[in-house]
Structure 1
């Protein structure tokens, strides 16, 4: 069979050369749609379909390394309506070239380039191997919208925009993802949970940088830069119980009215945004086995919740389970993963 499961981190692998030739393309399509994102594909290469896919499960983040011959990928409106994981995909080109389009924009990615796109909007991609090569290779880091420090309508401003990742935080992010893909099978489930959190923080920092760079170049740059900085300020001060609309406005030298207007334009309230980000941090810590001796209330306090009853109600309303049940579920999942 062409499928393998790692005994440490959950690593799923498919090599089409281990399958009967007549089954290779369909098997790869089915496995990719089920494990990464439902798409329609067309083999644009000639001859045998030689491809591979490796997926490492790092808790909230999945990192996939994909090698294919010439391939056209389409995610249309019908597939979006039928199946949507509501997630972002950070796409890194390793070799060959890929043309990706979404939101009316098109990006040509060469080795060392990256971009971000989202699962809730149709997109179209064409992969082209380098001249003389049989395949092109990319990495995809996938994580839920809710784990992003920015609302979707903010992140969508930079979707399908090419970023050259040869220096700065983009280069750091790419090297990190390459390392995750290369060493996923060597990590324990406990490692995977920690690395997933680190990866989310790194991708959040990269998003902050790119959004601010893009805002600087836009016609209403001053407002957009301020907006990105406000979101980043919240992300960095979640543990402060005094974090409030007043403290955010004061830190940025703007009025409360202006602050509310910025968030309202994104369909958010300031309080709801702060609460959602805090709850996500709490859920992440509750799933961390190294923090299982720390009480639920200690974790809640670390992220700015001062009322235990209010925290418990908000957590259950958001995630459909109590904080204690969330911790038990994470332990059970990790135990099963460690004995796969």
Structure 2
């Protein structure tokens, strides 16, 4: 959604329009423009992806200053902004420390902390705002982490995720998976902030990082269930950890990897077998689509988990549908 395009305003009205848009989409700030007398330019766009608000801003040089006075005027549900600097070199001040943000940095600002931010010349930023209630990280932790994000081993991983998020926000906005994507993004940002604000051996860091890693591993496995070569070594390699670390992290979450993967594949098979759209798909093809290399192995696993063969399960579902009966409950899981 387009929020502002100063090209549609007369030059004399552009400063007021810019200030109104900035203070309307965020909170009150002092705004100083680099060259207001020559005519400023700006374009703001916004998207909603799950619980995240995404803002893309491009403009001539300016600086936003948020003072302690402004902090007292915060909204009912304050936010934390997480930004990528996509054009220009950006100057920031946070916690009394001035620093520069470039294209390979992540900028983080808490609404309840004074700060300044801006750039000279033409610049652009892509920012995500997260409700601090959802983020669940104290103000002090966010401010302390904001000036040392690169000290965290999570930095480059989160940077890659944020860049991917911005490749198509318009398509993501209408996708049925946006709620899960928003939650995963919040988990990653929480992990980055906790890691950067504390020592690596701090128990809080380990707990948050483990939780984030488990969520990413589970999401990765679900995306690749059809791959017969979805091995522990491959999963570990994709997440830049050793096989031993993989098992340790999952063990702390009470997950037995091989058993869990088989259970997920069997549930995917149940959905295919019960789908009228795939009624003509042979059981062997269902097995292959769900990552089983052997139809007989698939049948044994299915019977062990649900007490019936895949063909019997499909037949019962088709009969129930033909009688217009309510769908039977999902077969009981025997796998842990």
Normalising by the smaller structure, the TM-score range is 0.5 to 0.7
What residue is the counterpart of 2:83 in the other structure? 91
Deviation at 1:154, TM superposition (A): 2.9
Larger-Rg structure: 2
Q: Distance in 2 between matches of 1:107 and 1:204?
A: 26
In structure 2, the CA distance between the partners of 1:47 and 1:176, relative to structure 1 (3 Å rule), is same
Aligned match of 1:100 in 86, 92, 95?
A: 92
What residue is the counterpart of 1:37 in the other structure? 27
> Cα RMSD (Å) of the superposition?
3.2
TM-score normalised by structure 1 residue count: 0.55
1:77-226 matches, cutoff 5 A: 77-84=68-75, 85-129=77-121, 135-161=122-148, 163=150, 168-180=156-168, 183-184=169-170, 186=171, 189=174, 191=175, 194-209=177-192, 211-212=194-195, 215-216=198-199, 222=201, 225-226=202-203
Q: Distance in 1 between matches of 2:252 and 2:125?
A: 40
In structure 2, the CA distance between the partners of 1:188 and 1:30, relative to structure 1 (3 Å rule), is same
Structure 2 residue runs without a partner (length 5+): 216-250, 254-336
TM-score normalised by structure 2 residue count: 0.56
Q: Which fold has the larger relative contact order, with Cα–Cα distance below 8 Å and residues 6 or more apart in sequence?
A: 1
Q: Distance in 2 between matches of 1:214 and 1:154?
A: 6
Deviation at 1:161, TM superposition (A): 3.8
Q: Distance in 1 between matches of 2:182 and 2:98?
A: 26
Structure 1 residue runs without a partner (length 5+): 1-10, 130-134, 239-249, 253-340
In structure 2, the CA distance between the partners of 1:234 and 1:113, relative to structure 1 (3 Å rule), is closer
1:1-340 matches, cutoff 5 A: 11-45=1-35, 47-84=38-75, 85-129=77-121, 135-161=122-148, 163=150, 168-180=156-168, 183-184=169-170, 186=171, 189=174, 191=175, 194-209=177-192, 211-212=194-195, 215-216=198-199, 222=201, 225-232=202-209
What residue is the counterpart of 1:337 in the other structure? none
Contact 2:74 2:111 survives alignment (8 Å): no
